[in-house]
Structure 1
Amino acid sequence: MSSKLDPITQAVRIQTPRTQQGEHSTPVYLTSSFVFDDAESMRAAFAEESDDNIYSRFSNPNVDEFTAKMVALEGAEAGFSTASGMSAVVGSIMSLLKNGDHMIVSSSIFGNTNTFIKKYMPNFGITYTMVPAGDHAAWEAAVQPNTKMVYLETPTNPQLEVLDLEWVGKFTKKHNLIFNVDNCFATPVLQRPIEFGADLVVHSATKWIDGQGRVLGGVVVGRADLIREIYLFCRVTGPTLSAFNAWVLSKSLETLEVRMQRHCENAYKAAEALQSHPNVSLVKYPFLKGHPQYDIAKKQMSGGGGVFCLEVKGGVEAGRKFLNALQMLSVTANLGDTRSIASHPASTTHSKLTDEERAAVGITPGLIRISVGLEKVDDIIADISQALDKSSL
């Protein structure tokens, strides 16, 4: 595939070489292993002197096709796909850090990532310092002689803080740190962190990349030397993306741009309309002018994404009343679906955090995260509005 083609075109046209059947759509390669013509070709494959597939824990045509599309979309050198977003996160960290290393972590991150870093990384002798997302002085103060990596996500989950990728890129270069960023909320259609100096970009492909709530998947792309280590780690530990899931995800990428255009359009209109509701104290969306990092978002993103947050007056009980009153929106833990979804982070995805930890990163008791789907936006607004009407205590 020519690299002169636009990445969006490459996401449509990259395809595993056709078999003798001449199929137009890539088939699913549901096989655990691959056959060799002779002993020499098998030896060469294990010695990595050829690109032949050996075993689907190592590589698979469907997985390779999906990964190649993500590499093109993010403008990366290489990539590796995994069974879920969290396995991509864990692989991107544990393959590159060792006992005695230190990392700097934005305090505004997904709940399970937070738990992994705080509860499990210390078991391996890896230390961390969590810093407020936009406090540049705190980031500088956190650097230690053994610091090796910076990890962040932007926009953050669920409170939609936007970190300045250009600043972080300069910061990590100055201190010779690996710049690892979760780009799940934006997708490569809206934001390409590598252009701002990121070394690694992580995705939960389960979200917008699949876009229809069907399968789990994860992917890491970035510098070839780092991806090589991630590949070796995951090859041994086994967080393998299934061939079927990779086939689904690869097909999903063919419509990613057009889907994200509609998600962004709907999210902006809904967030704007709901600002005036009397039972809402705050609406937060990166492309609303009232967002505290609006200028940064406009600089590094081509769209505001498909998620907005609102604060229901009345705290936890009002938030639960709101969820119970929804008639069309789904109440589920996922996001990035064709169907609009509402969740209450304080009692679900971030419930393992203490009250103080949630408050420190802006997860208030009445915060509601809305993943905006592809329904007609008037129907989305109407359902949220009627549920807000009923949320008053």
Structure 2
Amino acid sequence: MNPLARERIATLAVFLANGFGIGAWAVEVPRIKESLGLDDTSLGIALFCFALGAIVAMPLAGQLAPRVGSGRATALLGAAFAIALPLPGVAPGMLMLCVVLFALGASNGALDVSMNGHASAIETRWRAPIMSSFHAAWSAGGLLGAASGAVLQKAGIGVVGGLLAPDLFIAALLVVAASLALRDIGPRAAAASSGFAWPDSSVMKLALLAFMCMLVEGAVADWSAVYLRSTLNQQASVAAIGYSAFAFSMAACRIAGDASVRRFGSSKVVALGGLIALAGLALVLSLPTVLTACVGFAMVGIGLANIVPVIFSAAGRSSATPAVGVSMAATFGYAGFLVGPPLIGFGAGVLGLRAALCVLVMATLIVSLLGGKAVRGAQPA
């Protein structure tokens, strides 16, 4: 097999494994909240520790790749993520939950930056738009992780087993990926230029759009089940249906993402996607039922599916090298993914959960109104 094809397959496996872990974690959040007796504000603080760990680790991940190679960095950080994933299930109280979520957030944030950087290098060598395929693998993993979590909960498996069983699958997948490939596929960047850098003016708009999109994605991942369980008064396995619908629709649409961009254009994909996501959120918040949860969160997944891959590609075109632009947009985007959940938690403590989730409606409105123009204006550096 062509070495570049092996790298693509191995990196797809890493995206799948990471998404699987986040999906499994998302459906366990309500049970962890209940088992420790946390209110919305306390859960928001714990999730903030997850975000803080990632924000601290993201710049450090940029320093690791030039030293060991982007592929090897991805393999090492994947192992760290697999080690940290089950830890929230054994946390005995709020303090320890914050500590282990900091560790989990750090490993997840660093892995996000590393695997996207490696995917960007593969896309550059591939000479074709393939970024959506990597994100499709992540979304498929999220769907499978959420579905497996719901099945385990239905079977009466506790929180520890609900995280440990998926983690065994994740570890096996990462071992196979590292054995298959995850090596350097190009010259290493200079160490001095590998750390975190604030986006310049040509990339800032795209980075902020990535922040908004992934803020919505992160909030849906961590709060959809909590919102539906509190609103519908259903058991945890039923409440998880919202995130499952979201993850399934996002994965399905990302499979055809690159073809959609070629046919309709990147600006239309972004503008229309933001509008569809806005309508889906409005449906869920205004009329919460099991049916509208499925339809509404599916619409959010459809709308957001290909916006971030399009933004990453546009950011790559707007920088001296694709890797630089993608790393800037990815760092802001994943910061949004991690900031979203604690932001909703703090807002829920003050205004109530439904009112706090209206922030997501505003974010998708901004993306719909401004995103198309920002992507259309992306020019090669």
TM-score with structure 1 setting the length:
0.28
Report 1 or 2 for greater relative contact order, CA contacts < 8 Å, sequence distance ≥ 6.
2
Structure having the higher helix fraction is 2
Structure having the higher strand fraction is 1
TM-score with structure 2 setting the length:
0.29
